[in-house]
Each structure stands twice: as structure tokens, then as C-alpha cells.
Amino acid sequence: MRRVFCVANQKGGVGKTTTAINLAAALAKAGSRTLLVDLDPQCNATSGLGCEPCVGHPLVTGAPLREAVVSSGPGRLDVLPGSRSFRDIEAMAREDSAGCGRLRAYLKGGIGGYDFVLIDCPPSLGQLTQAALAASTEVIMPIQCEYFAMEGLAQMIEVIRRVMDEQEHELQFGGIVLTMYDHTLELTREVDDEVREFFGEIVFSTVIPRDVAVSESPSHGKSVIDYAPRSRGARAYIELCMEVLDGE
């Protein structure tokens, strides 16, 4: 069964795009045909894999998915690039609930050859994020191990539940992943305990450590798995990938 993941959090700087890039790369290296969809106007998921943003976003131009995707290099990972065009951003931001159906129809019309699709969302609860949630089968929420980790989560979860309650959608809670984890800090352990106590089994066992290799890899247009395969960050994303595959 094809799985479509929405990687979302309304807070910026929590490792959302980093998780989307590296989980997609790990799934591809595990032998799964994988597509990474960049819905964030910052286009970091696009540039982070060495691809160029497109002049017009396919969701606006209507270009067929098979013509719009680009290969990230050797392997089984393709990218649907984002667009930094202000016109495209405004057009997509204006989408109402009908736009959710359009994104869902666009993806379903072209993802027949993929085992996994990961959608990297903007750091907001706006229409783009809601459309991505409505087009997905699961949502993954990265949370940074810091003091404000729980801030705004109630709003995010309310949006997710609203989408889940709509009968025509098949969204489920894929899981919460703790990022920028530093086991030497008491604050990290406190956030870990609090999140796991509150959310229970939906929190992934794997945590993503603070690792300079994870921070450096996007500047080389590579996932951390390709950039520094022996690093702690690469191992963590491979372990997260195994958890995702075990959840099939």
C-alpha cells in the first residue's frame, strides 16, 4: 500500500525539512521508490538535495507530475521541486478547501510508480499545510528538544484531527520524532520524558541527535546518509526509516 507522509510543524527550525530529506533518502536506499514533494516556498528540500527550484510550481502550472519531477541522483529518490515565485506562493496560499482536493487529485494522478511520498510543508498552519494533510495518509511531526517544544502543539493537533474527521480523507498519525537531541543536557531528557508521557506510543523510539554532519549536508546538496554515512545523524535517520518500514 502506498504511503503519503506529510512532514509538518507550524514552528520553524525544528528539523522538519531535514527530516523530510533524510527520511526520503533512507527509504530510497532501502529499495523503495520515493518522491519528495517541496511545498515550502523557501525550497530548502529542493536545494538540500542539489536540485534547482522551478520557475513555476507544477501545482500552479498544472504540469504533469511525471514531467515535473527530477531525479536527486543515483538511486530511487525523485523530487518535485518547490518554487520561490511570489505569484505561485500567493496562488497556492489563496487556495480554499477546494485546493485540498486539487492537491490530492494531482498527487494521486501521478504517484502510481512510488512506494512512498513525503511532503515537506511550510512552517505554518495555513492552506498549504492543510492541503498537504488532506492529501496524505500519515503525518509525521518533528519536535525539537527545547523549552518551547510543546508550544503550539495543541493547534497543530487540532488541525490534524479536523482533517482526520473528514470522511473522505484517510489521514492517520504517523508519529512524532524528537530532533536535535543532546543526551548530555537535562533539558533534553525532560522534553523527552514529557513528550513520551503525553503522547505515548505515537512517539518514535528513534531520536535524531545534534550532529554537525546533519547541518552541513544540505550545503553540499546531499542527504546526511550520502554526505557522512558513518555519522550519528545518518545512523539515526536509517533507524527512523526502519521504524517507518516496520509500521507498514
17 or 64: whose pLDDT is higher?
A: 17
pLDDT of residue 126: 81
Quote the percentage of the chain above a pLDDT of 90.
52
188 or 165: whose pLDDT is higher?
A: 188
Q: What is the 3-state secondary structure (H, E, C) of 159-181?
A: HHHHHHHCCCCCCEEEEEEEEEE
Quote the percentage of the chain above a pLDDT of 70.
90
Task: Note whether 40 and 14 are within 8 A (CB).
Answer: no
Task: Note whether 118 and 23 are within 8 A (CB).
Answer: yes
pLDDT > 90? residue 245: yes
pLDDT > 90? residue 64: no
Tell me the average pLDDT across 226-232. 96
Cα–Cα distance for residue pair 241/248, rounded to 1 Å: 11
- 3-246 has which CATH code? 3.40.50.300
Cα–Cα distance for residue pair 127/131, rounded to 1 Å: 6
Using DSSP's 3-state secondary structure scheme, residue 3 falls into: strand
pLDDT > 70? residue 239: yes
Tell me the pLDDT of the chain averaged across its residues.
Answer: 87
Q: At what angle are helices 127-134 and 97-108 packed, to 10 degrees?
A: 50
Q: Which three cell numbers stand for residue 218?
A: 544540505
pLDDT of residue 129: 87
pLDDT of residue 93: 59
Q: Which three cell numbers stand for residue 179?
A: 530532533
pLDDT of residue 48: 95
Task: Note whether 16 and 7 are within 8 A (CB).
Answer: yes
pLDDT > 60? residue 194: yes
pLDDT of residue 208: 97
Could you give the C-alpha distances from 177 to 99, 166, 226, in angstroms and in order? 28, 25, 21
Could you give the C-alpha distances from 13 to 52, 138, 195, in angstroms and in order? 22, 21, 18
Cα–Cα distance for residue pair 219/102, rounded to 1 Å: 33
pLDDT of residue 45: 95
| Residue 196 CA to its chain's centroid (Å) | 21
pTM for this entry:
0.92
Q: If we measure between CA atoms, which residue out of 43, 123, 47, 55 comes closest to residue 85?
A: 55
pLDDT > 60? residue 228: yes
Looking at beta carbons, which pairs linking 158-162 to residues 24 or more positions away fall under 8 Å?
159/125, 159/129, 159/130, 159/133, 160/133
Residues 94-152: pLDDT tens digits? 655 545 566 777 776 667 789 999 999 988 888 888 888 888 999 999 999 888 877 77
Residues 75-96: pLDDT tens digits? 789 999 988 876 766 666 565 5
pLDDT > 80? residue 166: no
pLDDT of residue 78: 94
Q: Where are the domains of the chain?
A: 3-246
Cα–Cα distance for residue pair 64/58, rounded to 1 Å: 7
Q: Dihedral sign, CA of 241, 243, 247, 248? A: positive
Tell me the average pLDDT across 193-200. 91
Q: At what angle are helices 153-165 and 127-134 packed, to 10 degrees?
A: 50
What's the chain's length in residues? 248
